[in-house]
Structure 1
Amino acid sequence: MSFFRDNGLSITLITFTAATIAAMIFSGAHAFNQEAMMHGEPTVTVAGYLATGHFLSALFENWESEFLQMAAYVCLTAFLYQRGSAESRDPDGPRSTLDEDPLTMKNDPSAPWPVRQGRLVRTLYSYSLGIALGGLFVLSFVFHLRASAAAGNVEAMRHGEPPVDLWTRLADAEFWFECFQNWQSEFLSTLLLVLLSIFLRFRGSPESKPVAAPYGATGK
């Protein structure tokens, strides 16, 4: 039982992720087949729907925006401040011990393996979270572009228009509309989290300041 207690947050989030993707697949396949029948086209099975641009474009479009949000959040909070927010370091306080030069822990056997290696490996590891999230954003953006082009070509075929390649799709205003409609919501939600955590609380959450903490207190 200790495994579920120690990993309850990730287990719950994995369950929610799987459940919502499954719901997205079934509802998306139904919507896709309804559209196909309206145009006298053959329908697809649920398995066949997984390979359509309709599904993959929507999936990676959302993943892309989420990875952008998290990458920006991780990187910006390393350098910028918001006084009073639980999501910021104190601009007047000492730098967290988490920001100590990892070189000082090079010979500590309990330190992660990359910390005990050479300068290049240690430096890359020092920024690995931002690098990983940024890389996932780029990958999702590319997959979104490919799937969006495929979905766009299905629509083009229905209207007797020629298909387009990836570069043409990349220059298409509709593709960027797909991106920006998600990106703006991610930046807005992050902004609200940063600002609302100044004044509001959720007792027991590590993302909240203590209930009795003054508004001007910065950090958790």
Structure 2
Amino acid sequence: MKRFLKNNGLLLANLILFLAFLVGTAISGWHQYNEDQLAHGQAIETLGGYITSGAFMEAVFENWESEFLQMGMYVVLTAYLYQRGSSESKPLGKPAEQDQDPRTAEVNPDTPWPVKKGGWVLAVYEHSLSALFFILFALSFILHAVGGAEDYSSEQAAHGEPGVTVWEYLATSRFWFESFQNWQSEFLAVAVIVGASVFLRERRSAESKPVAEPHYFTGA
């Protein structure tokens, strides 16, 4: 068990933090939702009812949507673009291991199965990381729209107005405001780490260059 925890500590720590903050989102969102319900003279909701509501779905997936978009774009952009001096960039002026054509790689027992298989399987596999993020982005985008349409329709009903379909909700400024306000913050965060990692360091972090490394050195 100790070996397992050491080998997977980074993943496990992030999953634990994710679950903790998701629970926090559910509980705090539930209280906020009921405060709004009481302010409008409507019945309060149970926690179970809230986490299956459009309000909670919208709140969660509009954030997931931006995270997966950010990471998908980051994977693709770092494949083709460079930033001199940044630990987030491939090195300039020399071949990077990531650019190696897997079709010319020496195959051994530990080589991933898709590389051994070749053909269309390898073609899919060599772009599978970005594909995963964009698929998750698309699913989150859809669920954000579904949850948002349900929540928006509930608000409309409380004011005696007709509800909307998912397609109609996609045409509202509210949906795009929710999306853009999250998207812009994600790319700002990426720009900050790309630029800051040129001059600043974090000892022991894989996201930083060695502390004594010159500013102009590019790559991890």
Query: TM-score, normalized by length of structure 2?
Result: 0.96
Q: What is the Cα deviation at residue 103 of structure 1?
A: 1.3
Structure 1 stretches of 4+ with a deviation exceeding 4 A read: none
Query: Is 2:102–2:115's contact at 8 Å kept on the other side of the alignment?
Result: yes
Equivalent AA in structure 1 for residue 179 of structure 2: C
Query: Is 1:53–1:150's contact at 8 Å kept on the other side of the alignment?
Result: yes
**Residue of structure 2 in register with 1:111 after alignment:** 111
**Residue of structure 2 in register with 1:172 after alignment:** 172
Structure 2, unaligned runs of 5 or more:
none
Q: How does 1:118-157 map to 2 (within 5 A)?
A: 118-157=118-157
Distance 2:11 2:119 in 1: 32
Query: Is 2:88–2:207's contact at 8 Å kept on the other side of the alignment?
Result: yes
**Residue of structure 1 in register with 2:66 after alignment:** 65
Query: Is 1:65–1:179's contact at 8 Å kept on the other side of the alignment?
Result: yes
Distance 1:163 1:77 in 2: 43
Distance 2:149 2:57 in 1: 11
Per-residue CA deviations over 1:67-103 (Å, capped at 9, x if unaligned) read 0110010000000011111100122122x22321111
**Residue of structure 1 in register with 2:216 after alignment:** 216
Q: How does 1:11-30 map to 2 (within 5 A)?
A: 11-30=12-31
Structure 1, unaligned runs of 5 or more:
none
Query: Is 1:105–1:111's contact at 8 Å kept on the other side of the alignment?
Result: no
Q: What is the Cα deviation at residue 178 of structure 1?
A: 0.4
* Structure 2 residue 121 is the aligned partner of structure 1 residue 89: no
How many pairs were matched up? 219
Distance 2:191 2:33 in 1: 35
Distance 1:138 1:106 in 2: 36
Report % sequence identity: 46
Note closer, same or farther for the CA distance 1:16–1:156 as it changes in structure 2 (3 Å cut).
same
Per-residue CA deviations over 1:37-76 (Å, capped at 9, x if unaligned) read 2222221111111111111101000000000110010000
Equivalent AA in structure 1 for residue 135 of structure 2: G
Distance 2:44 2:136 in 1: 32
Q: What is the Cα deviation at residue 106 of structure 1?
A: 6.7
Query: Is 2:103–2:118's contact at 8 Å kept on the other side of the alignment?
Result: no
Q: What is the Cα deviation at residue 11 of structure 1?
A: 1.3
Q: What is the Cα deviation at residue 33 of structure 1?
A: 1.1
Q: Cα RMSD between the aligned structures? A: 1.1
Query: Is 1:105–1:116's contact at 8 Å kept on the other side of the alignment?
Result: no
**Residue of structure 2 in register with 1:76 after alignment:** 77
Structure 2 counterpart SS, 1:78: helix
* Structure 2 residue 165 is the aligned partner of structure 1 residue 194: no
Query: Is 1:56–1:147's contact at 8 Å kept on the other side of the alignment?
Result: yes
Query: TM-score, normalized by length of structure 1?
Result: 0.96
